[in-house]
């Protein structure tokens, strides 16, 4: 039966090619946009290299001071705060401290090369899962000695050394020379906690370690022993915040800082004013935006489907006259519409791959690597199914309610 429905659906699509083109274009374009957005969302918040185990990671990237008069100051935490308070937490398995990346200049054969440099500790390389192309990360010895060593990404190796092996060679950044001991695959700039072009030991900035201000230019990454420990870490962190001493009450008497997942950190900063998680609000706004975006093409597709089905009213009337139930007719028309939607969905997937590749090659997002992994593909199939059901059920139900005589007359009422 299903096979016959699909064959009929294919014949119907060939009958009115213009309507078919409009329907396929609307479906494919809508799904293409949704797929690209879904891939981008997964690219930023999903378990991607080097944060593959993001389900066990929490990030500290903001501390906020508020005064009694409503004045507030916020920014990344200082090394002192992360080392003196966060690193002393008992629940986490590991805590890493790294700097916010700094844009610096380098020169290769009189050509200026802009590089983003990040200072990290040893735990940074143990927590995050980088893909090493050459060499290794720096360890305890290099950190203790504040050695001028560096790990660089593939793009820097290509621009600085022409793609040849960089191990043991010297790279100069902002007039400081470093020995290259490792090369990793490019990390997208959207991964702000791990992204850089060049990574060097954090002890090269030890002049900042004694500064006891609470705000600075560093990030903290907390690794839990298991996903079940995340709540316990957040509870311990909240208790720790009550013990933090405020150096200058004039800058604020109330402190806010939270260990967040990637999504929580984004929602708290953009929607929660630095205090509330607001993940629920973020998902609500995202769902509303997706619904409104899909609403117009769905309405257009419903109208097209009604026009298409009206042309087949005589066929439906004959079937009803020979005893076909409304349930059977609805089932056939929905299957036909889902078939059309999946054709548009497959076209949308192909288009989305092209758009993603265009974004990756454009350089708009540095080192972007958008793609259709299993999670994104599954969302695409689900969206196709939802789109097909929404746009097909109402027209099918409307026509199935016609009596046989009215359907044979054309069903215009």
CB 373 within 8 A of CB 35: no
Task: Flag whether 56 is in a domain.
Answer: no
Residue ending a domain, choose from 196, 226, 259 = 259
Predicted TM-score (pTM) of this structure: 0.83
Task: Flag whether 366 is in a domain.
Answer: yes
Same domain, 220 and 148: yes
What is the C-alpha to C-alpha distance for residues 272 and 267, in angstroms, rounded to an integer? 6
Those residues with Cβ within 8 angstroms of residue 366's Cβ, 6 or more apart along the chain or in another chain:
188, 189, 195
Same domain, 237 and 145: yes
Q: How far apart are the first and last CA of the chain?
A: 30
Report the relative pairing of strands 218-223 and 132-135 from DSSP bridges: unpaired
Same domain, 30 and 84: no
Q: How many CA atoms lie within 13 A of 121 on its CB side?
A: 18
Q: Where are the beta strands (DSSP E) in 3-62?
A: 57-60
Residue 165's pLDDT is: 95
Task: Flag whether 266 is in a domain.
Answer: no
Same domain, 152 and 236: yes
Report the relative pairing of strands 63-66 and 72-75 from DSSP bridges: antiparallel
Same domain, 92 and 157: yes
Task: Flag whether 276 is in a domain.
Answer: no
Same domain, 224 and 360: no
Task: Flag whether 89 is in a domain.
Answer: yes
Residue 402's pLDDT is: 61
What is the C-alpha to C-alpha distance for residues 296 and 285, in angstroms, rounded to an integer? 18
Same domain, 306 and 209: no
Task: Flag whether 52 is in a domain.
Answer: no
- 311: three-class secondary structure by DSSP: coil
Residue 413's pLDDT is: 47
Per-residue pLDDT of the chain (413 residues; tens, 9 = 90+): 666 656 666 666 666 677 677 777 877 888 788 888 888 998 899 898 999 999 999 999 999 988 776 678 889 999 999 999 999 999 999 999 999 999 999 988 888 999 999 999 999 999 999 999 999 999 999 999 999 999 999 999 999 998 799 999 999 999 999 999 999 999 999 999 999 999 999 999 999 998 889 999 999 999 999 999 999 999 999 999 999 988 777 766 789 999 999 999 999 988 988 888 899 999 999 889 888 887 777 777 777 666 666 666 666 667 666 666 767 777 777 777 777 777 877 888 899 999 999 999 988 888 998 987 777 777 767 776 776 677 667 666 766 666 655 555 555 44
Same domain, 106 and 209: yes
Task: Flag whether 267 is in a domain.
Answer: no
Residue 334's pLDDT is: 75
Token readout for 174 is 């902002």
Range of the domain at 79: 62-259
Task: Flag whether 84 is in a domain.
Answer: yes
What is the C-alpha to C-alpha distance for residues 329 and 378, in angstroms, rounded to an integer? 29
Residue 261's pLDDT is: 96
Count the domains in the chain: 2
Same domain, 68 and 185: yes
Same domain, 293 and 392: yes
Residue 166's pLDDT is: 96
Same domain, 234 and 104: yes
Residue ending a domain, choose from 203, 228, 259 = 259
Same domain, 43 and 66: no
């Amino acid at each position: 039966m299903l096979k016959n429905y699909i064959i009929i659906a294919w014949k119907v699509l060939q009958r009115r090619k213009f309507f078919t083109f409009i329907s396929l274009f609307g479906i494919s374009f809508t799904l293409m946009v949704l797929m690209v957005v879904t891939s981008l969302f997964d690219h930023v918040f999903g378990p991607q290299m080097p944060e593959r185990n993001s389900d066990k990671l929490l990030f500290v990237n903001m501390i906020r001071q508020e005064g009694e008069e409503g004045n507030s100051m916020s920014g990344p935490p200082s090394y002192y705060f992360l080392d003196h308070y966060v690193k002393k937490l008992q629940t986490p398995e590991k805590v890493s401290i790294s700097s916010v990346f700094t844009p610096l200049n380098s020169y290769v054969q009189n050509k200026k090369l802009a590089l983003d440099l990040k200072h990290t500790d040893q735990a940074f390389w143990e927590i995050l899962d980088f893909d090493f192309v050459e060499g290794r990360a720096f360890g305890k010895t290099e950190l203790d000695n504040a050695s001028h060593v560096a790990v660089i990404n593939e793009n820097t190796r290509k621009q600085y050394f022409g793609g040849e092996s960089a191990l043991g060679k010297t790279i100069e950044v902002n007039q400081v020379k470093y020995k290259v001991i490792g090369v990793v695959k490019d990390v997208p700039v959207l991964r702000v906690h791990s992204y850089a072009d060049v990574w060097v030991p954090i002890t090269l900035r030890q002049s900042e370690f004694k500064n006891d201000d609470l705000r600075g230019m560093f990030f903290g990454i907390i690794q839990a022993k298991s996903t079940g420990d995340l709540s316990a870490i957040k509870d311990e962190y909240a208790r720790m915040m009550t013990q933090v001493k405020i150096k200058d009450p004039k800058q604020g008497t109330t402190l806010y800082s939270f260990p967040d997942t990637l999504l929580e950190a984004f929602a708290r900063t953009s929607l929660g004013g630095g205090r509330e998680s607001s993940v629920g609000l973020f998902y609500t706004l995202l769902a509303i935006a997706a619904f409104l975006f899909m609403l117009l093409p769905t309405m257009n597709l419903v109208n097209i489907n009604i026009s298409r089905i009206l042309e087949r009213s005589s066929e439906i009337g004959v079937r009803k006259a020979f005893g076909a139930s409304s349930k059977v007719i609805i089932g056939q028309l929905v299957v036909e519409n889902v078939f059309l939607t999946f054709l548009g969905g497959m076209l949308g997937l192909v288009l989305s791959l092209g758009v993603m590749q265009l974004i990756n090659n454009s350089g708009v997002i540095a080192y972007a690597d958008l793609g259709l992994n299993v999670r994104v593909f599954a969302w695409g199939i689900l969206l196709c199914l939802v789109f097909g059901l929404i746009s097909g059920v109402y027209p099918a139900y409307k026509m199935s309610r016609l009596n046989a005589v009215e359907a044979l007359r054309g069903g215009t009422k």
